[in-house]
Structure 1
Amino acid sequence: MYVIVYGYRTRQWLMGRMPAVCQRCQRTSQQQIVRLQRKLTLFWIPLFPIMTRTFLVCTLCGHQMRVDNKQADAWVKSPAVPPSPQPGQSALPGAPEAGGPAMTPQPGNPWQPGGPPPAM
């Protein structure tokens, strides 16, 4: 009598990160690109992949959204280009919006965004 031991093993790894808006919490954060790959095993030796899936995971709320594997590969190979600002929004994060309050220098804080960093 022979016994054949077979099954599968799932591995996951972080492919990269990119800034994006979460679909659940609607906040912009670094989204993690996570890939899961399931391989068929025979006597605990992985033979070949039987499933590969990629997810975009929000670092703030943990929401997972499945994305196409080819699209995720393209995101990792080429750096993500941030979306262009909409009318009425500033191009720089933290900069005042059109018609919004202007930033005023704070006492004791010589460094302001867009200026040179303080000397250490």
Structure 2
Amino acid sequence: MIIFGTKGHLHQLAILTLVCVQCRNPSAHTLRKRVTRFTLFFVPLFPVSTKYLTQCTFCGAESKVSAEQAEQLQAQDAGGPGSGRPYGQPPQQPQQPYQR
């Protein structure tokens, strides 16, 4: 008897502040990568599919994102080297003087 199937893994790539397409609220969104792997005798062997998703933390709506868009969103997160701020922190807006 051969036991085979698939198993999915979810990887959180970034947390971004975006406007939700469903609830129209500017809120935090998690960028996730869902990898489904073929398993043989409960041992994952190779990936069958890879999908990128964003999920709104306000309403819970999910939307699919292409691999290119996911790379751009990760670069937009800018928690990498040379950003001058901790990973996942939103960029600070410059202070503007008070005007009447």
TM-score range, shorter chain: 0.7 to 0.9
Q: Which has the higher contact order (CA 8 A, sep 6+)?
A: 2
**Correspondence for 2:53:** 55
Segments of structure 1 that go 5 or more residues without pairing to the other structure are 82-91, 96-101, 103-120
Between Structure 1 and Structure 2, whose CA radius of gyration is higher? 1
**Aligned counterparts of 2:23 and 2:2: Cα–Cα separation in 1:** 47
**Correspondence for 1:18:** 16
Query: TM-score, length-normalised on structure 1?
Result: 0.62
Q: Point out 4+ residue stretches in structure 1 off by more than 6 angstroms.
A: none
Per the TM alignment, residue 72 of structure 1 is displaced from its structure 2 partner at its CA by 0.5
Segments of structure 2 that go 5 or more residues without pairing to the other structure are 79-92
RMSD: 2.1
Q: How does 1:97-108 map to 2 (within 5 A)?
A: none
The share of aligned pairs that are identical, in percent, is 26
**Aligned counterparts of 1:65 and 1:19: Cα–Cα separation in 2:** 15
More strand by share: 2
**Correspondence for 2:62:** 64
Aligned residues: 82
Query: TM-score, length-normalised on structure 2?
Result: 0.73
Per the TM alignment, residue 69 of structure 1 is displaced from its structure 2 partner at its CA by 1.8
Q: How does 1:1-120 map to 2 (within 5 A)?
A: 3-76=1-74, 78-80=75-77
**SS of 2:70 mapped into structure 1:** helix
- Partners of 2:7 and 2:36 within 8 A in 1: yes
